[in-house]
Every structure is written in C-alpha cells, then in structure tokens.
Structure 1
Amino acid sequence: MGRIPELYTGDGLVEDPDGSRRWGVLGAAGLFLVTDDQHVLMQHRAKWTNRGGTWALPGGAIDVGESPTDGALRETWEETGVGASSVKVHREIVTSTVPVKTAYCRLPVRDDERHLFAGIEKIVERNGDPRQALREFPVRHPNLDASLDAHGIFGLGGTFWWEYENPEITEWTYTTVLATCTEHLELHPTAESLELLWQPIERLEELPLMPEFKASLPTLRAAVDSL
C-alpha cells in the first residue's frame, strides 16, 4: 500500500462529494433476516448513530479481513444477540455504492503510545473536553509518514485514536446479506438501538425507515421471493 499503513482497521469515516459522511472506510454491511412467517429483524437506531431515530437493519462497518457476510453477522450478534448459528445465509446483495471524496482511517492508540497524550489528559482534567484540547494542541503520530498527517482524535469508545486520510479508498459500498431463520429469535438490544422488532415484510414501510434502506426494499423483496 505504499506510504499507507498496511495494518489499519475498518474504523473511520468516508466523506461523499456532497459532504455527507458514512461510517466504515471498508464499507458496511447489514443482515436482512427473514423468518419462515415473513417477518424481518428491524433495528430502531439510537439517536446518536448515523440516521438516528430511523429504522434499518442491524449491521455496521466491515473490518479488515472480513467479508460483508462476516461483518453483518458480527454486527448483528453485537447489536441484537442473534448468533450466526441461528441463521442461514443465502447471498450478498450490494444495495448502495457511492464515490468517496475523502477517507479518514483510524488506528487504535497502542499502550506504548499513550504517553503522547499525557499533556492532553492533563488539560482534560481541567476543562473536560478532549476534542477541543486536541484542536488547540495537536498530537502527531511519531512514526508514520509525515505526509499522512496522522493525528490524535478522541471518539469511538471514549478513547484516543490516530486518524489520517487514505487516498487509496475511492468507493464505499453497503452490502445487504440475505438470511433466514425458522422463528422469531430472542433479541437483546444494546446502546446502539432504541428498539428491536420483528416486522412483517409487507409492512416495513409503516416504520420511519432509513431512506437508503427504503430505496433497497424492491430489490430485497425480489430476492426473498426467489428463495
């Protein structure tokens, strides 16, 4: 990958040409899980998430080394408690592809790098705002190519990360993984969900859906009909 670090995570943001942002520099995936009686597992997204307050599929960013199916199943387990052993995966369907203007990749700060943020932590003790402190006193990665401008940020998980732009990422895709299960499985929502629900497939539009998910429904219903 040239000057880009070979080991980076799928964490980070991509910015579209119109300025909108999407999570997951390697794309994202969700699980369209349908029961034998034609109900779909739906997630009411927490207010702090992208498109918070709308309904969509459990899912999220694909990590390094994961297929879209792997990512969708992992995220579904993390967000709903539904495990891969309880579902039958049928196929992957790319339901959204957008060009990327800028990709902001993130690397976790290692234990041996924590000391670089000691000054920021002291400032935070006084005013409690690590983001503002990092804007005023930027922390740069000591080893990566300086042209990457890998700098410290504070965010996901309430911790510090390194963030840098990756010009090699030029496209972002969302993959919907079609799967089935025999019954309404027990659900265990986390902080990413306001609510989880088994909704009849013919009544999905009764929910305030995420626009991108709503646009994909004709394709997804046709895929279910073909099973």
Structure 2
Amino acid sequence: MATQEIHGDGWAVGADGVRRWGTLGAAGLFLTTAEDGVTLLLVQHRAMWTNFGGTWGIPGGAIDTGETAVEAALRETMEETGVDPSDVTTGEAVVTARAPLDHVLRRVPLTEAELPLADAVTSAVAGGATLFDAVRGHRLTHPETGYPLVATLQGDLCWEVPDDTVPEWTYTTVLCTADHPLELNPTAESADLAWCPLDEVAELNLLPPFREALPGLIARLGS
C-alpha cells in the first residue's frame, strides 16, 4: 500500500468525536467589498451533499500539502466561486476555530496492484453509476487492513487510513477585499453565491462555526 496522501482532503476526527474537514486543517476567505456605501460580504450557500449542507458560510476548504492557509483560501475560493486571486487584496489571516484531534483519516491512493480490489466499483461506474454512488453502494474494504475504500472529488480511489500523529485541527479565516462586487460562478459545492450586506449576514442560516466567528471577524474590519 502506498503511504503518501492525496492533498489535504480527508476527515480530522476530534477528541470530541466531531469530524472536521481537512487532514491539514482548513481555510476560508472573508471577502468584502463596498457598493453605494454598503459593505458586502461574499457568502456561499453550501450544497446539500457537503458538510453542513444547506447552511451559509464563506468559500473555503482543506489546506493542501505545501500550501499556506492564505494560498488554500484563495485557491478554494477560485474553485468554488470563480473569483480570481489577482482581483483580491489579502489582509490578516486569523485562526477562528481549533480542536484537539484523536486522529485524521488520510486518503492513500490505490497502488497498481490493488486496483483489482476495486473492480466492483469500476464496473458499476462503467455501467453508468457515479463514482460516489458506486463506492457507497459496495462499501469495499482492504482485505488485510480493513481500511475502507473512498472516492475523492478529483475522481481518485483511495484507502482511508487513520493517523494519530496530528495533534490539532485549525480553521484559518483570511480577511480580504475587492474593489467592487466581482462576478460569481457557482460550482457543484455551492447551491448559491451572493454579495450580502454585512449587517444582514447574521440573519442567514449560517454554518454554526461561522456564526460563532462572525462577530470577531466584523470587529477586525474596523480595527
């Protein structure tokens, strides 16, 4: 079995039992602009299949191997909204959530020799099933280790391998500005995207950790 992980995608399982996305932590972009004297915040209505699906938050995601939190926030925002990092001025990066970990679930790609172990999944995909449905339907595990087979958004098949050497998970929020409301192009991870007046954001059905962090982030805008 290969030992490297693919990106930082994967669950971090807290000492409290809660799963948080990103084996290396996660980051998001708190992107504001102004129009007609009103401060606007870029908000994302999360697709139902995502973690906390149906809530509103900011674009972001798992930090990749070798990335800084700022780089990850900009990359994830571009992937999820179409916002070009060159149109954004980055500011302060703030850790807005942290949690001690029990373990992370790293995603290790199948070796060439292991590919036949996933034949049931690849056959189902060839028959018209989506990769995620095929993986969920067959629930395959490694015959020696018992590690479950999972699929990534990039279309890779991996073993989900526990690792208890990572002590803490963090979420970093990067404060940024744009000169004007930028054009938004939602992808599969976004049910909707909007420029919301900052003083109306709290009225949305917010992702719980974002709701907790919001007052402090707003306060930093005026500091």
TM range (shorter): 0.7 to 0.9
Q: Which structure 2 residue ranges, 5 or more long, are not aligned?
A: none
Mapped contact 2:103–2:165 kept (Cα < 8 A): no
- The letter of the residue matching 1:12 is G
1:18-57 equivalence runs, <5 A:
18-36=16-34, 37-57=38-58
| Alignment-derived partner of residue 156 in structure 1 | 152
The TM-score normalised by the length of structure 2 is 0.85
In structure 1, C-alpha distance between the alignment counterparts of 2:120 and 2:205, rounded to whole Å: 45
Mapped contact 1:131–1:153 kept (Cα < 8 A): no
SS at match of 1:101: strand
| Alignment-derived partner of residue 203 in structure 1 | 200
Mapped contact 1:150–1:164 kept (Cα < 8 A): no
**Is residue 177 from structure 1 mapped to residue 180 from structure 2 by the alignment?**
no
SS at match of 1:33: strand
| Alignment-derived partner of residue 114 in structure 1 | 115
Deviation at 1:17? 2.6
SS at match of 2:170: strand
- Cα deviation code 1:69-110 (max 9, x no counterpart): 000000000000001100000110000001112211112335
- Percent identical residues: 43
In structure 1, C-alpha distance between the alignment counterparts of 2:86 and 2:60, rounded to whole Å: 17
Q: Which structure 1 residue ranges, 5 or more long, are not aligned?
A: 141-145
Structure 1 residues 188 and 132, CA gap change in structure 2 (3 angstroms): closer
| Alignment-derived partner of residue 68 in structure 1 | 69
**Is residue 133 from structure 1 mapped to residue 138 from structure 2 by the alignment?**
yes
Deviation at 1:187? 0.3
| Alignment-derived partner of residue 143 in structure 1 | none
| Alignment-derived partner of residue 97 in structure 2 | 96
- The letter of the residue matching 2:160 is E
In structure 1, C-alpha distance between the alignment counterparts of 2:126 and 2:78, rounded to whole Å: 36
Q: 1:17 aligns with which of 2, 15, 18?
A: 15
SS at match of 1:73: helix
In structure 2, C-alpha distance between the alignment counterparts of 1:7 and 1:122, rounded to whole Å: 25
- The letter of the residue matching 2:149 is I
Deviation at 1:202? 1.4
- The letter of the residue matching 2:31 is L
Mapped contact 1:32–1:177 kept (Cα < 8 A): yes
- The letter of the residue matching 1:151 is Y
SS at match of 1:195: strand
Q: CA RMSD in A?
A: 2.5
- Cα deviation code 1:45-76 (max 9, x no counterpart): 01111111110000000010000000000000
The TM-score normalised by the length of structure 1 is 0.84
**Is residue 187 from structure 1 mapped to residue 190 from structure 2 by the alignment?**
no
Q: Which moved more, 1:215-224 or 1:175-184?
A: 215-224
